[in-house]
Chains A and B, each alone.
Chain A
Amino acid sequence: MTKITFVEHNGKEHTVDVENDMTLMEAAVKNMVPGIDADCGGACACATCHVYVEPDWVEKTGDREETEEDMLDFAFDVQENSRLSCQIKISEALDGLVVKLPEKQF
């Protein structure tokens, strides 16, 4: 199990224990973390699971692939540390990961 913390836009924190190999988006949805809509259910096709990875974790969570970069065009206020959470796979290396959620997914 890997510990992940989601921080809502209003500062409220949700720390959840997650099974490895699921995606960050699935971890949020399964634990009913508000603020991740995931319209398309993880197909990297909607940009409604946008998160900001805390700077210390950007390297560990890896680079955006091209489809994700393209899809981020449909997110709002995209920053250097923006990711679509359906494209981040949970592993032990991410134990303690902190991500912030945007105010709205649209």
Chain B
Amino acid sequence: MSGDVITTDAVIIGGGPCGLFAIFELGLLDIKCHVVDILDKPGGQCAELYPEKPIYDIPALPEVSGQELTDRLMEQASPFDPQYHYSQMVTELIKHGDNDFELKTDGGMTFRAKVVVIAAGGGSFMPKKPPMPGIADFEDTSVFYSVREMEKFRGKDILIVGGGDSALDWVNNLQPIAKSMTLLHRRPEFRAAPDSVNKMRAIEDAGKMKFQLGQVTELLGDNGQLTGIKGKNKEGEFELACDTMLPFFGLTMKLGPVADWGLNLEENLIPVDTEKFETSVPGIFAIGDINNYPGKLKLILSGFHEAALMAQQAFRYINPGERLRFQYTTSSSSLQKKLGVK
């Protein structure tokens, strides 16, 4: 992927509900979109935090789950053939000129776009880092929050902390190449899928890994090299030897690189006007939970409205001098053609 530059009309940063609806609103105006999201799936908070929880304040949908809302928005956007790029974060946003932006991701992709829509919600979902003194010294040498390359863990004495799907999956997947594998979890029950738990139990029964009940309290080692940890449980304190630790405590939202793009920020939100939802940099828009303006409500429906108005101004940038004719999907044959209405 790296090396190739993707040229497009718009890059949308964030594939949550507002980002997805922005594809639709831009699409009606013939603006093509690429969407980048740090998660491995669309939906943002709706998919990551509450896929099964009902939402009650989407107009005309008295009750809808986060997942269903996401699925329906994807379906609504699909006539416009958006390109999705998951599991990566936009790390750089550089303005080369009027309506000429370069975006780079940590997945090695580069985009050149005429407009940028920041729909990043509460920020990027990042792994939670246990708040332990000195942990930063071990990060990327002995402590890892994700597995990008399995080979890196070959021959290691690995300690995995947690009881969710990530923890159990990596116990099962890394055990065959690890020198030793220990799983540390605060209780004998796991929230991970029963299948993964059974698999782990089988590996444990075969004597190829150890399960330790408890919680980590202290990291041992120096110069970035972990030698073990101290932990505790109801019986008391204990030590475990390991040279690699993988803590899996879920994800939390951090503003991330947005703060480095030279945009005006107020309390980690991006101030915008309420006519175009544009940031302090013309051509860069911000919609949804990440923006702020007088009277802002952090509701999905507000983000939908913001997407519609943003698209009008994006059209003017992309088609300078061209008149924008306002049309309704109920009556416009040209809009219906774009939507594939038969």
Which residues of A come within 8 Å of B, CB atoms?
A: 37, 39-40, 43, 45-48, 69-78, 102-106
- Known: A47-B250, A103-B131, A106-B131. Contact between A73 and B53, CB under 8 A? no
Residue of A73, A74, A103, A106 with most chain B CB atoms under a 10 A cut-off: A73
Whether A106 contacts B252 by the Cβ 8 Å rule is yes
- Do A43 and B49 contact each other (CB < 8 Å), given the known contacts A73-B163, A73-B185? yes
Residues of A near B190 (CB, < 8 A) are: 73
Chain B residue at minimum C-beta to C-beta distance from A46: B49
The reply on B130 being an interface residue by CB < 8 A is yes
Max chain B C-beta neighbours (<10 A), residue from A37, A48, A70, A74: A74
Contact B162 A73 (CB under 8 A): yes
Contacts of B187 in A (CB 8 A): 69, 73
Q: B225 at interface (Cβ–Cβ under 8 A)?
A: no
Q: Report the separation of the CA atoms of residues A103 and B135 in the bound assembly, to the nearest whole angstrom.
A: 15
In the complex, the answer to whether A39 meets B49 with C-beta atoms within 8 Å is yes
A-B contact list, 30 entries, CB within 8 Å: A37-B252, A39-B252, A40-B45, A40-B49, A40-B50, A43-B49, A43-B50, A43-B53, A45-B49, A47-B249, A69-B187, A69-B189, A71-B191, A73-B164, A73-B185, A73-B186, A73-B187, A73-B191, A73-B249, A74-B164, A74-B250, A75-B249, A76-B130, A76-B131, A76-B215, A77-B217, A78-B186, A105-B252, A106-B131, A106-B249
Chain B residues positioned under 8 Å from A69 (CB to CB) = 187, 189
Residues in B neighbouring A70, C-beta threshold 8 A: 191
Q: Interface size (B, Cβ < 8 Å)?
A: 24
Q: Which residue of B lies closest to A67 (CB)?
A: B191
Least Cβ–Cβ distance between A80 and chain B, in angstroms: 9
Per the bound structure, the CA–CA distance linking A73 and B130 in Å amounts to 12
Tally of A-B Cβ pairs under 8 angstroms = 58
Chain B residues with CB below 8 A from A77, complex form: 215, 217
If A74-B250, A78-B186 touch, whether A39 touches B122 (CB-CB below 8 Å) is yes
Given A39-B49, A73-B186, A77-B215: A46 in contact with B252 (beta carbons within 8 A): yes
Q: How far is the CB of B250 from chain A (nearest CB, A)?
A: 4
Q: Which residue of A lies closest to B122 (CB)?
A: A39
| Distance in angstroms between the alpha carbons of A70 and B45 in the assembled complex | 19
Most buried by B among A46, A47, A71: A46
